[in-house]
Amino acid sequence: MREKFFKSGEHWVWFNAGAIAISLVMVVGLLALIAVRGLGHFWPKEVHHYELSLENGEKAHVLGELYEEQSPKGAQDDSETQLLIKNGNREVYGLDFTWIHKKHVTAESFPSDVVVLERREWGNFYGDLQKVIIDGAEVGNDKESRYAAMLARINEVNDVFEDIHDLEKSDIGSVNYRLEELRLERRRLELDGKDTREALAEIAAQEQQLKNEFEDLQTKLNALYAEAEKDSVVVKTIEGKELTVNFAMIVRAFQPNKMTGLGKVGHYFEKVGEFVLEDPREANTEGGVFPAIFGTVMMVILMSIIVTPFGVIAAVYLHEYSKQGFLTRVIRVAVNNLAGVPSIVYGVFGLGFFVYFLGGSIDDLFYPEAKPAPTFGTSGLIWASITLALLTLPVVIVSTEEGLSRIPKSIREGSLALGATKIETLWRTVLPMSSPAMMTGLILAIARAAGEVAPLMLVGVVKLAPTLPVDGNAPFIHLERKFMHLGFHIYDVGFQSPNVEAARPLVYATAFLLVLVIILLNIAAIKIRNNLREKYKSLEH
């Protein structure tokens, strides 16, 4: 029996089965790892209160979230275990994190009154709420009412901040944009030699008007800031140090130890919403990734607009028009090479050709007034989209061609026999029938482009873009602007951030978001393709 097992090579079969099983375990494990870490980030963690008695006899208190537990290799018991506590309060402790020895812990509790303040600067605060000062007077006479008053005021201030944000981004942004336009206008007139006194005077008048507008807005803005900053809370750290925190600093307050299960779920989704819809804070380590999502989507849309016609035409040529011969083989080699060329090479090409050569030429021709500052002659959204369109071209070609080859010959012949020309046959029958295949190709291209980072580092992404590529200023879509990208965000925050430890959960969350999008896109592509295959399988017989 055993001899037969080895003689027939059965063990090798098992061996091979092991290989695919290992691959599957790795994929699923990796996805699970990202999902667990990424999704866990938003869950409100309980705040521990550790009482420590140190070796020198001193007592100490640490208040914070338990972040990680680490024992040295092969430790038999807890004696050497260290706990990493996120104790926040960066203005007091200097760092967000502290290590404590588990053996020093004499008592551990979860005080229900602990308040966590998420702030716009200095990270989280953990401690007790002492006073709420609104309009110079203390509000609330017990803990509950104080807390409620604080929450109410935070909501009000956040509304004020929304107004501030609107004012800064759209109104003041628009004034600045128009001022810049006027400056360019004047320069253009100078370059053209048309800088007559009247023209300059008109520009100056407009400028004055805008400046007045700017002053008005500035006054309004200052009033709003004053409104946001007028009240504050007094909080106490676990050591008993009192701090005054202005309401303008507070994004959110919650009491994790008091939260019910439902409350936690609510908090969770609130955080998820913030992550997806808000701007990043604190050098990208807190807040949301909305600009990165927006930038990725914009780039992908532009890329789709460019790549689809080219990819489909090339595929139609390969499959419908060309005679199978030397030329088609050369084209196929070219397509395969486009698919195989490392993405960084596209980045290098995009930077040299699109950005410096094409962009530089466009600047010379159309934007001489902005010089020496480049307009299109620097990396930006449009160049990133074109570069990625080139990169994903083979994906669309291969997929479309596969779709074309699945359409039975009889359909084409039927159409031709009825007197339609070749293009009519294609346009009316073949292309509509193969549109799911094009869709598949496009989806795969989008999935590829959404995850590609290396070329983008050279042709357009930045860690923090001050403005989105789309805004309310004509011409509304600013193709030359730099943008943020989810993939690059992961690289940048995970590896270039000054506070990697604090940023890590956010990176996992971003990674999860990106993986989720890409997997959904791929599954959609696979489903569409399988449907198409099924459909034409029945036609063939």
Partner 1 sequence: MQSMNDSVKDSVRALLDKQTDSGHHTWRRVKDNMARYGIGLGGISVIIAVMMIFFFLLYVVLPIFKGAEIQAGKTQSYPAESSLFWGVEEYGEIGYNLNAEGSALFFDTKTGQPIDQYELELPGGASVTSAGYADVEQNIVALGLSDGNLLFAKFKFDISYPDNKRKITPSITYPFGEDVIELSDSPIEKISASLSEDTLTLVAAGAGTEFSYIRFALEESFSSDGFSLEEIDRQEVTADTPIDFLFTEPTGIWVYAVSRNGVLQSFLFSDSEEKLLENEKVALVEPGVTVRDVDLLVGGISMIVADDKGMITQWFPVRGEDNVYSMKKVRDFSFNGSPIVTVAPEVRRKAFVALNENNELGMFFTSSHRVVLTEQLDSQVSKDALALFNPRANQLLVKNGQELMRWDVDNEHPDLSWSALWGKVWYENYSEPEFTWQSSASTSDFEAKFSLVPLSFGTLKAAFYAMLFAMPLAICGAIFTAYFMAPQMRQMVKPAVEIMEALPTVILGFLAGLWLAPALEEHLPGVFMLLIVMPFGIILFGLAWHFAPVELKHRIPDGWQAALLIPIIIIIGWLSMSLSYPVEQAFFDGNMPEWLRQHGITYDQRNSLVVGIAMGFAVIPTIFSIAEDAIFSVPRHLTNGSLALGASPWQTLVRVVLPTASPGIFSAVMIGMGRAVGETMIVLMATGNTPIMEANIFEGMRTLSANIAVEMPESEVGSSHYRVLFLAGFVLFVFTFVFNTVAEIVRHRLRRKYGSL
Residues 490-509 that bind partner 1 (CB under 8 A): 490-491, 494-495, 500, 504, 507
CB of 359 to partner 1, least distance (A): 12
For the segment 108-127, give every residue that binds partner 1 (CB under 8 A).
none
Contact call for residue 32 and partner 1 (CB under 8 A) = no
Q: Could you say which of 426, 431, 465, 502 contacts partner 1 (CB under 8 A)? A: 426
CB of 471 to partner 1, least distance (A): 26
Give the Cβ contact number of residue 381 at 10 Å: 24
For the segment 354-373, give every residue that binds partner 1 (CB under 8 A).
356-357
CB of 390 to partner 1, least distance (A): 6
Contact call for residue 215 and partner 1 (CB under 8 A) = no
* Cβ closest to partner 1, residue 115 vs residue 490: 490
CB of 463 to partner 1, least distance (A): 12
57: left (phi over 0), alpha (psi -120 to 50) or beta: left
Site string for partner 1, 258-297 (x = CB under 8 A): ----------------------------------------
Q: Could you say which of 331, 362, 464, 470 contacts partner 1 (CB under 8 A)? A: 331
CB of 417 to partner 1, least distance (A): 14
d(CA 303, CA 449): 8
Contact call for residue 223 and partner 1 (CB under 8 A) = no
Q: Could you say which of 133, 314, 381, 506 contacts partner 1 (CB under 8 A)? A: 314
* Cβ closest to partner 1, residue 54 vs residue 333: 333
- Phi and psi, residue 105, nearest 5°: -75, 120
Give the Cβ contact number of residue 249 at 10 Å: 19
CB of 395 to partner 1, least distance (A): 11
For the segment 362-421, give every residue that binds partner 1 (CB under 8 A).
390, 393, 397, 421
**Which range touches partner 1 (CB under 8 A), out of 150-158, 162-170, 172-180, 453-461?**
453-461
CB of 462 to partner 1, least distance (A): 10
Contact call for residue 99 and partner 1 (CB under 8 A) = no
Cβ pair 118, 251 in contact under 8 A: yes
Contact call for residue 33 and partner 1 (CB under 8 A) = yes
ω into 309 cis (within 30 of 0)? no
Dihedral sign, Cα of residue 193, residue 194, residue 196, residue 199: negative
* Cβ closest to partner 1, residue 280 vs residue 347: 347
Class of residue 330 by CB neighbours under 10 A (exposed 0-12, middle 13-18, buried 19+): exposed
Q: Could you say which of 152, 205, 344, 477 contacts partner 1 (CB under 8 A)? A: 344
d(CA 463, CA 483): 8
Cβ pair 259, 267 in contact under 8 A: yes
Return the closest-CA partner of residue 515 out of 174, 190, 39, 62. 39
Q: Could you say which of 115, 248, 437, 447 contacts partner 1 (CB under 8 A)? A: 447
The residues facing 243 across adjacent strands are: 235
Q: What is the dihedral of CA 426, 427, 430, 431, to 10 degrees?
A: 120
Contact call for residue 323 and partner 1 (CB under 8 A) = no
With a CB cutoff of 8 Å and minimum separation 6, the contacts of 376 are 358, 359, 360, 362, 363, 367, 382, 383, 480
**Which range touches partner 1 (CB under 8 A), out of 26-34, 154-162, 257-265, 533-541?**
26-34
CB of 414 to partner 1, least distance (A): 18
d(CA 506, CA 285): 7
For the segment 469-488, give every residue that binds partner 1 (CB under 8 A).
487-488
Cβ pair 104, 54 in contact under 8 A: yes
Contact call for residue 84 and partner 1 (CB under 8 A) = no
d(CA 338, CA 391): 7
The residues facing 233 across adjacent strands are: 132, 245
Complete DSSP assignment for 509-528: HHHHHHHHHHHHHHHHHHHH
Q: Could you say which of 15, 43, 99, 110 contacts partner 1 (CB under 8 A)? A: 15
Contact call for residue 209 and partner 1 (CB under 8 A) = no
What are the C-alpha distances in Å from 96 to residues 109, 239, 249?
Answer: 20, 16, 17
Q: Could you say which of 3, 55, 74, 198 contacts partner 1 (CB under 8 A)? A: 74
Q: Could you say which of 341, 411, 516, 524 contacts partner 1 (CB under 8 A)? A: 341
Q: Read off the tokens for 408.
A: 């039975």
Q: Could you say which of 313, 373, 417, 474 contacts partner 1 (CB under 8 A)? A: 313
CB of 498 to partner 1, least distance (A): 15
Q: Using DSSP, state whether 65 is helix, strand or coil.
A: strand
* Cβ closest to partner 1, residue 419 vs residue 475: 419
* Cβ closest to partner 1, residue 245 vs residue 351: 351
With a CB cutoff of 8 Å and minimum separation 6, the contacts of 498 are 283
Contact call for residue 340 and partner 1 (CB under 8 A) = yes
Q: Could you say which of 30, 54, 301, 474 contacts partner 1 (CB under 8 A)? A: 30
Complete DSSP assignment for 286-327: EE--HHHHHHHHHHHHHHHHHHHHHHHHHHHIIIIIS-SSHH
d(CA 306, CA 312): 11
**Which range touches partner 1 (CB under 8 A), out of 25-33, 136-144, 185-193, 197-205?**
25-33
Contact call for residue 244 and partner 1 (CB under 8 A) = no
* Cβ closest to partner 1, residue 225 vs residue 353: 353
* Cβ closest to partner 1, residue 336 vs residue 405: 336
